[in-house]
A and B are shown apart, each in its own frame.
Chain A
Amino acid sequence: MTLANLWFILIGLLFAIFLFLEGFDFGVGMSTRFLAKDFDERLALMTSIGPHWDGNETWLVTAGGAMFASLPLMYASLFSGYYIVLLLVLVGLIIRGVSFEFVKHAETQTGKNIWMWAFFLGSFLAPFLLCMMLLSMVQGIPMNANGDAFPKFFDVVNLLSVVGGVAGTLLSLVHGLNFIRLRIEGPLRDRARKLNQILYPILFAGEVVFAVLVFFQTDFFTKRFGSSLVITLLIVLFSLLGYYGVLKDREGWSFAGSGLSLSMVIVLLFNGLFPRVMIATNPAHSILIKDAANSQYTLTIMTIVAAVLVPIVAIYFIWSYTLFTKRINPKENTVKY
């Protein structure tokens, strides 16, 4: 195991943790339109992730920073190649991020509704575009010898990337609903479960289409058949676990299942990418991990830093979640948590 490979895995892990955590944030944001019936309920949904969303998003920022610090050629090629898509992701994250604060200060109902819509739109746009970008990138895109990527419109928007975007978004929504079942009490919670009873069958159909398209549109199954198959099965298995939790009214199982499903999507993509970081239509221009990586010296420093800091972060990060376990009741004004 070279350090470069280790960092490739770590970046994948950071993205996987990010999707597990911010996935339910996005889902909660989307459910303000799909689940809540009035403003009080929307607000309760928003408050359920109020203390957490910023910390969750930090995993994305860390993944970006870690990519720059370990595989800068991937950072440069991927981000510059998908300029417009990432720009829109950022816009989504921006309007969503400020909505938490601004909705508290808006005084008219129109004002409140505008920021609530910003919350919804951002929560929808970001996972859709991110998943679309990742699923476009693993199919291979036009690149030059310098590593500059020039994906054309249909390299970015095609059957697999759109299905991937939709599946990722749907899975985030399902994950968010499972989180709501954990954190909110009353009718909202029951409705979240009922909605998931409808959504899971659609999700399974989506996952099958997704798996078939990945089989045909990427080289994952020709290059790494065994592992790709196992991970694909795991995605479905964890979703089944989530569905089991819905049927048996066990929200803990559901939450773990949908979260791990989301994480496994990233694992599938990174497993298929390996040992490349960018796939070019002309294989000679694909970028390999070993060529994208920083010097041994920098990677060693970063490894030490991560080995020291990540466990500390994990401890207070998890502790912060244990502070907010009391369920929120949207109807009771005295709810404090």
Chain B
Amino acid sequence: MLGIGLSIVSLARFQFAMTTVFHFFFVPFSIGMGVLVAVMETIYAVKKDKVYLDMAKFWGKIFLLSFAVGIVTGIIQEFQFGMNWSEYSRFMGDVFGAPLAIEALLAFFIESVFIGIWMFTWDRFKPGVHAFMIWMTAIGTMLSAIWILAANSFMQHPTGFKINNATGRIQLTDFGAVIANPQLWKVFPHVILAAILTAGTVIAGMSAWGLLRKKKNENHFFKTSLRFGLWVSLIFAILSAGAGDLQTQQIIKDQPMKFAATEGIYKDTKDPAPWTVVETIDDKNHKASNQIEIPKLLSLLAYHKTSGSVKGMDTLNKELHAKYDKQFGKDMDYYVPPKTLFWSFRVMTGIDLLIMLIAIFGVIWSRKKKDTIENKKWFMVIVGLAIWIPFIGNSAGWFVTEFGRYPWIVYGLFTIADAVSPTSTVGSLLFSNILYFLLFTLLGGVMVWYSRKTLHHGPYYEMEDSKQNVDPFAKEAFVK
């Protein structure tokens, strides 16, 4: 009986992880691309430099491909709380539904309506007016991020609520506190900045591949796009690292266990605390060894000063037992998965630093009037391959956030095991897991394949093809 119970929870968790991770490949990329395409079209509207119009159209196609997959995988999210996590929905309905509904009303309508207009009105509006449509779409996607993150932040750090003793359900007491949740306003900038970073890195990378083809008429286009992408990567890699640092300060305050696991600390550190670059973690016996350390750095990261020790998981586990044993019993395991957190964090930050490094050299070597970068084929290949790493970084970041919430689904209030739908069966969950897996493999594969094809055709494909400057979203573009 216990075996079956466990596998229902793990299947439901696996499905949630799979659907959200897959969805979140496309979300940050679409948010970032929306903003960057809007910037390109605005530059065109102001400077009337035609290459920026070509850029808006070409990168707009990649944006639309990603947006399409993002939307359809997003629909799943609106329903799966009820489908797979009905006990969670009952418990959290008073708090959690509101941001979701507001997200739909405030954000989804803006993005869906204005993207429809933008796609089909290239030749109808003046550039400035047309750019307004994509700006609205981009703003819609960012508004949507605020509300879903408001919901998630409540799960990380509940605010503005009480437990209704009659129903046993959560009751909202202060909507303002849900919106003002400090977690939200730390995580939101981090997510948005990383989203723009993702899009910038992909634009730079695809442009690098395009430049390597050495087609004369495309050279200016891809060179401009490459520089644009590299500058965006550089600026937003720095900014999102900064935002991440601010978010860390909040986590130390609200979820010290998550922070301790992220740094792989079991015993309280000495003062000042060294930062562990790598170590081996034995999570069965709660021991870490073979640390390679940088002195004082953890104090600096955690408190922005050269002193102060950091509490380890052993201490925090005792504290959490003292705090929650009355409500949840003595058998709870409050250790979050330290290996996942420790390495996810290092992958995420490593990727950010790597992109920063690539972008610095790229920006230097791609200065106009110099062909330095075209002659460094090895470097162009690196920029091209870097397309994939921000997606890994984004997922790693969410692994830290979400696995670090263990064993809670709502921090300190509701455990994951209690949240799953009582109607779930292993059979139905296996069916949906397999179905989603196959579907996502297909969608992801096709999306990447078509993006590659789009790049292969280059920005001037339609024009060469139909001998006239046609609207890429008009019927001609469909038929050919």
* A residues at B contact (CB < 8 Å): 40, 43-44, 47, 50-55, 57-58, 60-62, 64-70, 72-73, 75-81, 83-84, 86-87, 90-91, 93-95, 97-98, 100-107, 146-150, 294-295, 297-298, 301-302, 305-306, 309-310, 313, 316-317, 320, 323-324, 333, 335-337
Contact status B115-A54, CB under 8 Å = yes
What is the interface residue range for chain B against chain A? 35 or more
Contact status B112-A55, CB under 8 Å = yes
How many Å lie between the Cα of A44 and that of B479 in the bound state?
A: 10
Tell me the chain B residues, 107-164 only, with Cβ under 8 Å from chain A. Answer: 108-110, 112-117, 119-121, 123-124, 164
B202 within 8 A of A: no
Contact status A50-B78, CB under 8 Å = no
Q: Could you say which residues of chain B place their CB within 8 Å of the CB of A50?
A: 116, 119-120
CB distance from B338 to the nearest CB of A (A): 33
Contact status A310-B105, CB under 8 Å = yes
| Known interface pairs A90-B76, A101-B64; A336-B94 also in contact (CB < 8 Å) | no
Q: Could you say which residues of chain B place their CB within 8 Å of the CB of A102?
A: 68, 446, 450
**Within the complex, which residue of B72, B101, B172, B175 is in contact with A97, where a contact is CB–CB below 8 Å?**
B72
CB distance from A111 to the nearest CB of B (A): 9
What is the 8 Å Cβ interface bit string for chain B, positions 169-198, against chain A (1 contact, 0 not)?
001110100000000000000000000000
Contact status B424-A68, CB under 8 Å = no
B428 within 8 A of A: yes
Interface residue stretch chosen among B47-55, B79-87, B274-282, B300-308: B79-87
How many Å lie between the Cα of A97 and that of B446 in the bound state?
A: 14
B476 within 8 A of A: yes
Q: Could you say which residues of chain B place their CB within 8 Å of the CB of A323?
A: 117, 121, 124
Please count the residue pairs between chain A and chain B whose beta carbons lie under 8 angstroms apart in the complex.
Answer: 234
Tell me the chain B residues, 299-317 only, with Cβ under 8 Å from chain A. Answer: none
How many Å lie between the Cα of A254 and that of B273 in the bound state?
A: 75
| Known interface pairs A55-B112, A55-B116, A68-B96; A107-B474 also in contact (CB < 8 Å) | no
Among A64, A67, A301, chain B packs the most CB atoms within 10 A around the CB of: A64
Q: Could you say which residues of chain B place their CB within 8 Å of the CB of A313?
A: 105, 109
Contact status A76-B93, CB under 8 Å = yes
Interface residue stretch chosen among B216-224, B283-291, B393-401, B431-439: B431-439
B416 within 8 A of A: no
**Within the complex, which residue of A105, A295, A309, A316 is in contact with B105, where a contact is CB–CB below 8 Å?**
A309
Contact status B104-A58, CB under 8 Å = yes
| Known interface pairs A43-B475, A76-B82, A149-B423; A101-B68 also in contact (CB < 8 Å) | yes
How many Å lie between the Cα of A293 and that of B233 in the bound state?
A: 47
| Known interface pairs A90-B76, A320-B113; A76-B87 also in contact (CB < 8 Å) | yes
| Known interface pairs A54-B112, A68-B100; A150-B120 also in contact (CB < 8 Å) | no
How many Å lie between the Cα of A69 and that of B171 in the bound state?
A: 12
Contact status B101-A146, CB under 8 Å = no
Contact status B476-A317, CB under 8 Å = no
Tell me the chain B residues, 51-85 only, with Cβ under 8 Å from chain A. Answer: 64-65, 67-69, 71-73, 75-76, 78-79, 81-84
How many Å lie between the Cα of A61 and that of B79 in the bound state?
A: 8
Q: Could you say which residues of chain A place their CB within 8 Å of the CB of B463?
A: none
How many Å lie between the Cα of A310 and that of B109 in the bound state?
A: 10
How many Å lie between the Cα of A84 and that of B422 in the bound state?
A: 15
Contact status A324-B68, CB under 8 Å = no
- The secondary structure that dominates the A interface is helix
CB distance from A316 to the nearest CB of B (A): 6
What is the 8 Å Cβ interface bit string for chain B, positions 18-42, against chain A (1 contact, 0 not)?
0000000000000000000000000
Among B68, B90, B100, B475, chain A packs the most CB atoms within 10 A around the CB of: B475
| Known interface pairs A44-B475, A91-B435, A295-B94; A68-B173 also in contact (CB < 8 Å) | no
Contact status B116-A320, CB under 8 Å = yes
In the assembled complex, 19 residue pairs joining A and B whose CB atoms fall closer than 8 Å, in A order, are A51-B117, A58-B109, A58-B113, A62-B101, A68-B89, A75-B89, A79-B89, A94-B72, A97-B71, A150-B423, A294-B93, A297-B172, A298-B95, A298-B171, A298-B172, A301-B172, A320-B117, A323-B117, A336-B471
CB distance from B480 to the nearest CB of A (A): 9
**Within the complex, which residue of B68, B89, B123, B431 is in contact with A100, where a contact is CB–CB below 8 Å?**
B68
Q: Could you say which residues of chain B place their CB within 8 Å of the CB of A298?
A: 94-95, 97-98, 171-172, 175
CB distance from A311 to the nearest CB of B (A): 11
Q: Could you say which residues of chain B place their CB within 8 Å of the CB of A69?
A: 93, 97-98, 100-102
| Known interface pairs A54-B112, A87-B432; A148-B423 also in contact (CB < 8 Å) | yes
Q: Could you say which residues of chain B place their CB within 8 Å of the CB of A83?
A: 83-84, 421, 423-424, 428, 432
CB distance from A310 to the nearest CB of B (A): 7
**Within the complex, which residue of B100, B171, B423, B475 is in contact with A81, where a contact is CB–CB below 8 Å?**
B423
Contact status A72-B479, CB under 8 Å = no
How many Å lie between the Cα of A44 and that of B454 in the bound state?
A: 23
Contact status A73-B90, CB under 8 Å = yes
Q: Could you say which residues of chain A place their CB within 8 Å of the CB of B431?
A: 84, 87
Q: Which residue of A lies closest to B92 (CB)?
A: A72
B478 within 8 A of A: yes
How many Å lie between the Cα of A55 and that of B137 in the bound state?
A: 12
Contact status B68-A104, CB under 8 Å = no
What is the 8 Å Cβ interface bit string for chain B, positions 387-412, against chain A (1 contact, 0 not)?
00000000000000000000000000
Among A77, A90, A297, A316, chain B packs the most CB atoms within 10 A around the CB of: A90
Contact status A78-B82, CB under 8 Å = yes
B477 within 8 A of A: yes
**Within the complex, which residue of A61, A90, A93, A148 is in contact with B422, where a contact is CB–CB below 8 Å?**
A148
CB distance from B257 to the nearest CB of A (A): 29
B443 within 8 A of A: yes
How many Å lie between the Cα of A294 and that of B116 in the bound state?
A: 34
Q: Which residue of B lies closest to A68 (CB)?
A: B97
**Within the complex, which residue of B89, B121, B123, B171 is in contact with A76, where a contact is CB–CB below 8 Å?**
B89
Contact status B100-A65, CB under 8 Å = yes
CB distance from A127 to the nearest CB of B (A): 15
CB distance from A145 to the nearest CB of B (A): 11
How many Å lie between the Cα of A103 and that of B450 in the bound state?
A: 10
CB distance from B329 to the nearest CB of A (A): 21
B212 within 8 A of A: no
How many Å lie between the Cα of A65 and that of B409 in the bound state?
A: 20
Contact status A107-B453, CB under 8 Å = yes
**Within the complex, which residue of A43, A60, A294, A297 is in contact with B97, where a contact is CB–CB below 8 Å?**
A294
| Known interface pairs A51-B117, A61-B104, A333-B475; A76-B172 also in contact (CB < 8 Å) | no
Contact status A43-B100, CB under 8 Å = no
How many Å lie between the Cα of A93 and that of B116 in the bound state?
A: 17
